[in-house]
Structure 1
Amino acid sequence: MTTHDTELIMRAVAVTGTRSTGHRRLDEYAGLFRDYLGPFAAPDAHFYIGGAKGIDSMSLIWLAGNTPAAITIVVPGRIDQQPAEARQAIARTRERIKEIVELGASELKAPAYHARNRWMVDRASMTIGFPHHAEESSGTWQTLNYTRDQGKPRLIVPV
Protein backbone atom coordinates (compact mmCIF):
# COMPACT_ATOMS: atom_id res chain seq x y z
CA MET A 1 0.00 0.00 0.00
CA THR A 2 1.41 3.37 -0.99
CA THR A 3 1.11 6.69 0.82
CA HIS A 4 -1.40 7.74 -1.83
CA ASP A 5 -3.53 4.65 -1.08
CA THR A 6 -3.63 5.41 2.65
CA GLU A 7 -4.64 9.01 1.92
CA LEU A 8 -7.64 7.72 -0.05
CA ILE A 9 -8.93 5.89 3.01
CA MET A 10 -10.68 8.10 5.53
CA ARG A 11 -8.42 8.00 8.53
CA ALA A 12 -10.76 6.43 11.10
CA VAL A 13 -9.27 3.13 12.20
CA ALA A 14 -10.54 0.50 14.64
CA VAL A 15 -7.76 -1.47 16.34
CA THR A 16 -8.38 -4.98 17.65
CA GLY A 17 -6.08 -7.68 18.90
CA THR A 18 -5.24 -10.45 21.26
CA ARG A 19 -5.03 -10.04 25.01
CA SER A 20 -2.33 -12.73 25.06
CA THR A 21 0.86 -10.87 24.20
CA GLY A 22 3.55 -12.48 26.36
CA HIS A 23 4.99 -14.51 23.47
CA ARG A 24 6.74 -11.43 21.94
CA ARG A 25 9.01 -8.73 23.30
CA LEU A 26 7.68 -5.19 23.72
CA ASP A 27 10.09 -3.84 21.10
CA GLU A 28 8.65 -6.31 18.58
CA TYR A 29 5.16 -4.92 19.19
CA ALA A 30 6.49 -1.38 18.88
CA GLY A 31 7.92 -2.33 15.49
CA LEU A 32 4.61 -3.83 14.37
CA PHE A 33 2.72 -0.73 15.50
CA ARG A 34 5.23 1.52 13.72
CA ASP A 35 4.89 -0.49 10.51
CA TYR A 36 1.14 -1.12 10.51
CA LEU A 37 -0.50 1.66 12.56
CA GLY A 38 2.04 4.37 11.79
CA PRO A 39 1.14 4.82 8.10
CA PHE A 40 -2.46 5.66 9.11
CA ALA A 41 -1.57 7.94 12.05
CA ALA A 42 -1.60 11.38 10.41
CA PRO A 43 -2.76 14.44 12.36
CA ASP A 44 -6.29 14.02 10.94
CA ALA A 45 -6.48 10.31 11.89
CA HIS A 46 -8.76 8.90 14.56
CA PHE A 47 -8.19 5.52 16.23
CA TYR A 48 -10.86 3.56 18.10
CA ILE A 49 -9.35 1.17 20.62
CA GLY A 50 -11.02 -1.21 23.07
CA GLY A 51 -10.01 -0.63 26.67
CA ALA A 52 -8.66 -4.11 27.36
CA LYS A 53 -5.21 -5.44 28.19
CA GLY A 54 -2.83 -6.76 25.57
CA ILE A 55 -2.92 -5.21 22.09
CA ASP A 56 -5.49 -2.61 23.19
CA SER A 57 -3.30 -1.21 25.98
CA MET A 58 -0.03 -1.54 24.06
CA SER A 59 -1.39 0.13 20.91
CA LEU A 60 -2.88 2.94 23.04
CA ILE A 61 0.48 3.65 24.66
CA TRP A 62 2.29 3.48 21.30
CA LEU A 63 -0.20 5.72 19.48
CA ALA A 64 -0.30 8.26 22.33
CA GLY A 65 3.48 8.47 22.49
CA ASN A 66 4.36 8.35 18.81
CA THR A 67 1.57 9.99 16.81
CA PRO A 68 -0.62 13.10 16.72
CA ALA A 69 -3.75 11.03 15.93
CA ALA A 70 -6.96 11.35 17.94
CA ILE A 71 -7.74 8.38 20.18
CA THR A 72 -11.08 7.12 21.45
CA ILE A 73 -11.20 4.33 24.03
CA VAL A 74 -14.33 2.17 24.03
CA VAL A 75 -15.28 -0.20 26.85
CA PRO A 76 -18.31 -2.48 27.06
CA GLY A 77 -19.19 -1.42 30.61
CA ARG A 78 -17.22 1.13 32.63
CA ILE A 79 -13.51 1.97 32.82
CA ASP A 80 -13.31 0.83 36.44
CA GLN A 81 -14.34 -2.67 35.31
CA GLN A 82 -11.35 -3.02 33.00
CA PRO A 83 -8.23 -5.02 33.99
CA ALA A 84 -5.55 -3.16 35.96
CA GLU A 85 -3.15 -3.12 32.97
CA ALA A 86 -5.79 -1.41 30.83
CA ARG A 87 -6.75 1.13 33.51
CA GLN A 88 -3.07 1.99 33.98
CA ALA A 89 -2.55 2.48 30.22
CA ILE A 90 -5.59 4.76 30.06
CA ALA A 91 -4.44 6.78 33.09
CA ARG A 92 -0.91 7.07 31.67
CA THR A 93 -2.16 8.45 28.34
CA ARG A 94 -5.26 10.33 29.51
CA GLU A 95 -4.07 13.70 28.18
CA ARG A 96 -3.85 12.17 24.66
CA ILE A 97 -7.24 10.45 24.71
CA LYS A 98 -9.89 12.51 22.95
CA GLU A 99 -12.84 10.52 24.26
CA ILE A 100 -13.69 7.59 26.50
CA VAL A 101 -16.90 5.78 25.61
CA GLU A 102 -18.44 3.60 28.31
CA LEU A 103 -21.21 1.55 26.72
CA GLY A 104 -22.70 0.60 30.11
CA ALA A 105 -23.28 -3.13 29.60
CA SER A 106 -24.73 -4.71 32.73
CA GLU A 107 -22.91 -8.01 32.14
CA LEU A 108 -19.37 -8.21 30.81
CA LYS A 109 -19.82 -11.33 28.72
CA ALA A 110 -19.29 -12.09 25.04
CA PRO A 111 -22.37 -10.14 23.81
CA ALA A 112 -21.11 -6.94 25.50
CA TYR A 113 -17.64 -7.29 23.93
CA HIS A 114 -19.17 -8.01 20.52
CA ALA A 115 -21.33 -4.88 20.86
CA ARG A 116 -18.21 -2.84 21.72
CA ASN A 117 -16.40 -4.23 18.69
CA ARG A 118 -19.32 -3.43 16.37
CA TRP A 119 -19.54 0.10 17.83
CA MET A 120 -15.90 0.73 16.92
CA VAL A 121 -16.12 -0.80 13.43
CA ASP A 122 -19.32 1.12 12.66
CA ARG A 123 -17.46 4.39 13.25
CA ALA A 124 -14.24 3.41 11.48
CA SER A 125 -13.44 3.25 7.80
CA MET A 126 -11.13 0.24 8.31
CA THR A 127 -9.89 -2.17 10.99
CA ILE A 128 -6.36 -3.23 11.80
CA GLY A 129 -6.28 -6.53 13.70
CA PHE A 130 -3.49 -8.29 15.55
CA PRO A 131 -4.72 -11.87 16.13
CA HIS A 132 -2.61 -14.42 17.99
CA HIS A 133 -4.26 -17.54 16.60
CA ALA A 134 -6.16 -18.38 13.46
CA GLU A 135 -9.08 -19.34 15.73
CA GLU A 136 -12.08 -17.59 14.18
CA SER A 137 -14.05 -17.67 17.46
CA SER A 138 -11.86 -15.06 19.16
CA GLY A 139 -13.04 -11.49 19.68
CA THR A 140 -10.29 -10.27 17.35
CA TRP A 141 -11.54 -12.47 14.52
CA GLN A 142 -15.17 -11.59 15.29
CA THR A 143 -14.23 -7.93 14.84
CA LEU A 144 -12.24 -8.58 11.66
CA ASN A 145 -15.09 -10.64 10.20
CA TYR A 146 -17.64 -7.98 11.12
CA THR A 147 -15.44 -5.44 9.33
CA ARG A 148 -15.39 -7.67 6.25
CA ASP A 149 -19.16 -8.15 6.42
CA GLN A 150 -19.58 -4.35 6.45
CA GLY A 151 -17.58 -4.15 3.22
CA LYS A 152 -14.76 -2.26 4.90
CA PRO A 153 -11.05 -2.94 4.48
CA ARG A 154 -9.18 -4.84 7.14
CA LEU A 155 -5.49 -5.29 7.69
CA ILE A 156 -4.57 -8.51 9.48
CA VAL A 157 -1.20 -8.62 11.25
CA PRO A 158 -0.70 -12.02 12.93
CA VAL A 159 1.19 -11.87 16.18
Structure 2
Amino acid sequence: MRSVAITGTRATGHRPPDEYGAIFSAYLRPFADGHFYIGGAKGIDSLALLWLAGNSAAHLTVVVPGTVLHQPTEAQQAIARTRERIQDVVELGAAELDTPAYHARNRWMVDHASMTIGFPHADEPEGGTWQTLNYTAEQGKPRLIVPV
Protein backbone atom coordinates (compact mmCIF):
# COMPACT_ATOMS: atom_id res chain seq x y z
CA MET A 1 0.00 0.00 0.00
CA ARG A 2 1.41 3.40 -0.99
CA SER A 3 1.78 5.85 1.91
CA VAL A 4 1.80 9.63 1.57
CA ALA A 5 2.66 12.38 4.04
CA ILE A 6 0.71 15.61 3.54
CA THR A 7 2.26 18.96 4.43
CA GLY A 8 1.11 22.46 3.67
CA THR A 9 0.51 26.02 4.65
CA ARG A 10 -1.74 27.03 7.49
CA ALA A 11 -2.64 30.19 5.57
CA THR A 12 -5.42 29.09 3.21
CA GLY A 13 -7.81 32.06 3.26
CA HIS A 14 -6.50 33.45 -0.03
CA ARG A 15 -8.46 30.83 -2.04
CA PRO A 16 -12.13 29.84 -1.84
CA PRO A 17 -12.72 26.35 -0.35
CA ASP A 18 -13.96 24.87 -3.66
CA GLU A 19 -10.57 25.61 -5.24
CA TYR A 20 -8.90 23.40 -2.64
CA GLY A 21 -11.35 20.64 -3.51
CA ALA A 22 -10.29 20.87 -7.16
CA ILE A 23 -6.60 20.90 -6.19
CA PHE A 24 -7.01 17.85 -3.94
CA SER A 25 -9.00 16.06 -6.61
CA ALA A 26 -6.16 16.58 -9.08
CA TYR A 27 -3.23 15.81 -6.76
CA LEU A 28 -4.51 13.54 -3.98
CA ARG A 29 -7.06 11.41 -5.82
CA PRO A 30 -4.36 9.48 -7.78
CA PHE A 31 -3.03 8.22 -4.41
CA ALA A 32 -6.43 7.77 -2.71
CA ASP A 33 -6.13 3.97 -2.57
CA GLY A 34 -3.27 4.24 -0.08
CA HIS A 35 -2.45 5.52 3.38
CA PHE A 36 -2.19 9.21 4.25
CA TYR A 37 -0.33 10.73 7.19
CA ILE A 38 -1.83 14.15 7.90
CA GLY A 39 -0.69 16.67 10.50
CA GLY A 40 -3.51 17.75 12.76
CA ALA A 41 -3.12 21.50 12.21
CA LYS A 42 -5.36 24.12 10.66
CA GLY A 43 -5.07 25.06 6.99
CA ILE A 44 -4.03 22.42 4.46
CA ASP A 45 -3.93 19.69 7.12
CA SER A 46 -7.60 20.16 8.07
CA LEU A 47 -8.76 20.80 4.50
CA ALA A 48 -6.97 17.69 3.19
CA LEU A 49 -8.33 15.57 6.04
CA LEU A 50 -11.90 16.68 5.32
CA TRP A 51 -11.47 16.12 1.57
CA LEU A 52 -9.87 12.69 1.94
CA ALA A 53 -12.49 11.55 4.47
CA GLY A 54 -15.30 12.51 2.12
CA ASN A 55 -13.76 11.56 -1.22
CA SER A 56 -11.64 8.47 -0.72
CA ALA A 57 -11.44 5.13 1.02
CA ALA A 58 -7.82 5.79 2.00
CA HIS A 59 -6.40 4.79 5.37
CA LEU A 60 -6.09 8.05 7.35
CA THR A 61 -3.65 8.70 10.17
CA VAL A 62 -3.61 12.07 11.93
CA VAL A 63 -0.34 12.98 13.63
CA VAL A 64 -0.07 15.77 16.21
CA PRO A 65 3.04 17.01 18.03
CA GLY A 66 1.36 17.09 21.46
CA THR A 67 -2.23 15.96 21.86
CA VAL A 68 -5.37 16.60 19.83
CA LEU A 69 -6.68 18.80 22.64
CA HIS A 70 -3.71 21.14 22.14
CA GLN A 71 -4.45 21.66 18.44
CA PRO A 72 -6.23 24.76 17.11
CA THR A 73 -10.04 24.70 17.25
CA GLU A 74 -10.34 24.38 13.45
CA ALA A 75 -8.14 21.28 13.51
CA GLN A 76 -9.96 19.73 16.46
CA GLN A 77 -13.27 20.23 14.63
CA ALA A 78 -11.95 18.61 11.43
CA ILE A 79 -10.70 15.62 13.42
CA ALA A 80 -14.03 15.30 15.26
CA ARG A 81 -16.05 15.56 12.01
CA THR A 82 -14.03 12.79 10.37
CA ARG A 83 -13.31 10.60 13.40
CA GLU A 84 -15.20 7.62 11.98
CA ARG A 85 -12.90 7.69 8.92
CA ILE A 86 -9.64 8.14 10.82
CA GLN A 87 -7.95 4.81 11.48
CA ASP A 88 -5.21 6.15 13.76
CA VAL A 89 -4.44 9.27 15.77
CA VAL A 90 -0.79 9.56 16.78
CA GLU A 91 -0.13 11.97 19.64
CA LEU A 92 3.63 12.48 19.95
CA GLY A 93 3.31 14.06 23.41
CA ALA A 94 5.53 17.13 23.01
CA ALA A 95 5.52 19.22 26.18
CA GLU A 96 5.76 22.48 24.21
CA LEU A 97 4.14 23.17 20.85
CA ASP A 98 7.06 25.02 19.33
CA THR A 99 8.97 24.83 16.06
CA PRO A 100 11.08 21.80 17.12
CA ALA A 101 7.90 19.90 18.08
CA TYR A 102 6.30 20.56 14.69
CA HIS A 103 9.50 19.62 12.87
CA ALA A 104 9.63 16.36 14.86
CA ARG A 105 6.01 15.65 13.86
CA ASN A 106 6.82 16.34 10.21
CA ARG A 107 9.89 14.08 10.29
CA TRP A 108 7.81 11.32 11.92
CA MET A 109 5.27 11.50 9.08
CA VAL A 110 7.98 11.48 6.38
CA ASP A 111 9.77 8.57 8.07
CA HIS A 112 6.55 6.53 7.96
CA ALA A 113 5.54 7.48 4.40
CA SER A 114 6.90 6.47 1.02
CA MET A 115 6.44 10.00 -0.42
CA THR A 116 5.31 13.51 0.49
CA ILE A 117 2.84 15.85 -1.18
CA GLY A 118 3.39 19.46 -0.15
CA PHE A 119 1.10 22.45 -0.60
CA PRO A 120 3.23 25.49 0.24
CA HIS A 121 1.82 29.01 0.09
CA ALA A 122 3.13 30.52 -3.15
CA ASP A 123 4.44 33.57 -1.24
CA GLU A 124 6.27 31.61 1.50
CA PRO A 125 9.71 30.54 0.23
CA GLU A 126 10.57 28.84 3.54
CA GLY A 127 8.87 27.48 6.63
CA GLY A 128 7.59 24.17 7.96
CA THR A 129 6.20 22.98 4.64
CA TRP A 130 9.56 23.49 2.92
CA GLN A 131 11.42 21.95 5.87
CA THR A 132 9.27 18.84 5.45
CA LEU A 133 9.72 18.74 1.67
CA ASN A 134 13.49 19.17 2.02
CA TYR A 135 13.64 16.44 4.68
CA THR A 136 11.74 14.17 2.29
CA ALA A 137 14.36 14.82 -0.41
CA GLU A 138 17.19 14.18 2.08
CA GLN A 139 15.62 10.78 2.80
CA GLY A 140 15.69 9.98 -0.93
CA LYS A 141 11.91 9.86 -1.13
CA PRO A 142 9.78 11.40 -3.87
CA ARG A 143 7.95 14.65 -3.27
CA LEU A 144 5.21 16.38 -5.18
CA ILE A 145 5.10 20.16 -4.70
CA VAL A 146 1.80 21.94 -5.44
CA PRO A 147 2.02 25.69 -4.64
CA VAL A 148 -1.27 27.17 -3.45
TM-score, structure 2 as length reference: 0.98
Tell me the residue number matched to 2:86.
Answer: 97
CA RMSD of aligned residues (A): 0.9
Query: Does the 8 Å CA contact 1:114/1:143 hold for their aligned counterparts?
Result: yes
Q: 1:115 and 2:104 equivalent?
A: yes
Cα displacement string for residues 96-130 of structure 1 (whole angstroms, at most 9, x for unaligned residues): 00000000001110000000000000000000000
* 1:95 match: secondary structure: coil
Identity %: 72
User: Separation in 1 of the partners of 2:61 and 2:102?
Assistant: 16
TM-aligned CA deviation for residue 133 of structure 1: 3.4
Q: How big is the shift at 1:136?
A: 4.3
Match of 1:28 in 2: 19
Alignment of 1:7-156 (within 5 A): 11-42=2-33, 45-133=34-122, 135-156=124-145
Aligned-partner SS, 2:77: helix
Corresponding residue SS for 1:94: coil
* Alpha-carbon distance between aligned partners in 2 of 1:153 and 1:79, rounded to the nearest angstrom: 29
Q: Which amino acid aligns with 1:120?
A: M
Which blocks of at least 5 consecutive residues in structure 2 are unaligned?
Answer: none
Alignment TM-score, normalising by the size of structure 1? 0.91
Contact 1:136 1:142 (C-alpha < 8 Å) held by counterparts: no
SS at 2:84 equivalent: helix
**Helix, strand or coil at the partner of 1:34:** helix
Question: In 1, distance between residues paired with 2:67 and 2:107?
Answer: 17
